[in-house]
Amino acid sequence: MLRFGIAGFGLHAVKRLMPGFAAAKNCTVTALTRRDAERARESAREFGIAHAFTTTSELCACPEVDAVFIATPDALHLADVLEGTKHGKHILVEKPMAMNADEARQMVESARAAGVTLGVAHVMRFEASVRWFRERIASGAIGKPVLARASFLAPLLQSARTWIDDPKLATGGPLADIGVHCFDTLKYVLGAEVRSVMAQAHYDAHWTVEASGTTLFEFGGGVLGTMSVSARAPYQTLLEVVGQDGVLSALNAMTVDMPVTVEHRRAFDMVERLEVSNANAYTVQVEEFAEAVQGGKAFAAPGEVGLANQQILDAIFRSVKSGKAEKP
């Protein structure tokens, strides 16, 4: 049984992580951190967690913690990861992995030197809908992919994460916060890397970081992809891949909150239509990480993937400023 400590036990831990751990069979939560000591103790009592701390260093020093799930604001990820690897803890860090690629590279190198497993919580890789896309594409069901698109919209002005519009704490606005889900999912289902990006962003009076953004991707293998994200719209996600012999699509493909209908069409004909559930994605994510730590199959989102995605994010923000195509 892999024993996790959660660093940054906030709304995400309450709403997503703890329900996921509750159903997990090979891992559990034994410790947490919150900045306020009394709130930390309250959360520990509420969820039956043995240890409550106020700092990541205290959590990492706990002998009853084998791995650390880092759910702190983006700007704290580097220090938290380095603290964990210094104590020989395995690390699963929330996305976006870091503030920039240099920080992500330090994380990867630190984990490698310490001989610990480093993963990034790209939870969409563990969703049934996303894996359906990946399997159909790999099987040749739609022929050679030529176009792909993903979108993620969310009303983030109402987010409980008050730090997400602070450029000192957040990697960016929706291009980083939810955009990384979009292009990581496209990479995963296509089995292809990003060669170049061209991005635009819109800013408004509410935030310093961008409010909406779009990006055009050139993937390996000649696939062109697009991503659209906004923090100023009702929640919705979309995933579509066009191949030479068919189209895979799903509205709200990346949600965990409701069943998802995935479709395979060829021209006007429906080849396959299936309803799947992503409700257990957070459980699958931590169980597969525990398997990787315990010597099983490789984790689907290792630190190297997080580093590559951070290089893509850096290129996206360079493109917003330059107005030109940029390479990761």
* Lookup: tokens for 313: 């994010």
pLDDT per position as a tens digit, 18-34? 999 999 999 999 999 99
Return d(Cα 165, Cα 272) in angstroms, integer.
41
Beta 212-219 vs 194-202: how paired, if at all? antiparallel
> The tokens 């992809």 sit on which residue?
225
Return d(Cα 188, Cα 203) in angstroms, integer.
29
pLDDT at 296 over 80: no
Cβ atoms within 10 A of the Cβ of 71, count?
24
* Lookup: tokens for 80: 């938290």
pLDDT per position as a tens digit, 237-288? 999 999 999 999 999 999 999 999 999 999 999 999 999 999 999 999 999 9
pTM for the whole structure: 0.96
pLDDT of residue 162: 87
User: Domain limits of the chain?
Assistant: 2-121+283-300, 125-278
- How much is the average pLDDT of 297-317? 97
- In whole numbers, what is the pLDDT of the chain averaged over residues? 97
pLDDT per position as a tens digit, 168-214? 999 999 999 999 999 999 999 999 999 999 999 999 999 999 999 99
- How much is the average pLDDT of 49-63? 98
For domain 2-121+283-300, give the fold: Rossmann fold (3.40.50)
pLDDT of residue 307: 98
- How much is the average pLDDT of 210-239? 97
pLDDT of residue 159: 86
pLDDT of residue 189: 98
CATH superfamily ID and name for 125-278: Dihydrodipicolinate Reductase; domain 2 (3.30.360.10)
The pLDDT-based confidence of 295 (bands split at 50, 70, 90) is confident
Return d(Cα 159, Cα 176) in angstroms, integer.
15
* Lookup: tokens for 312: 């893509």
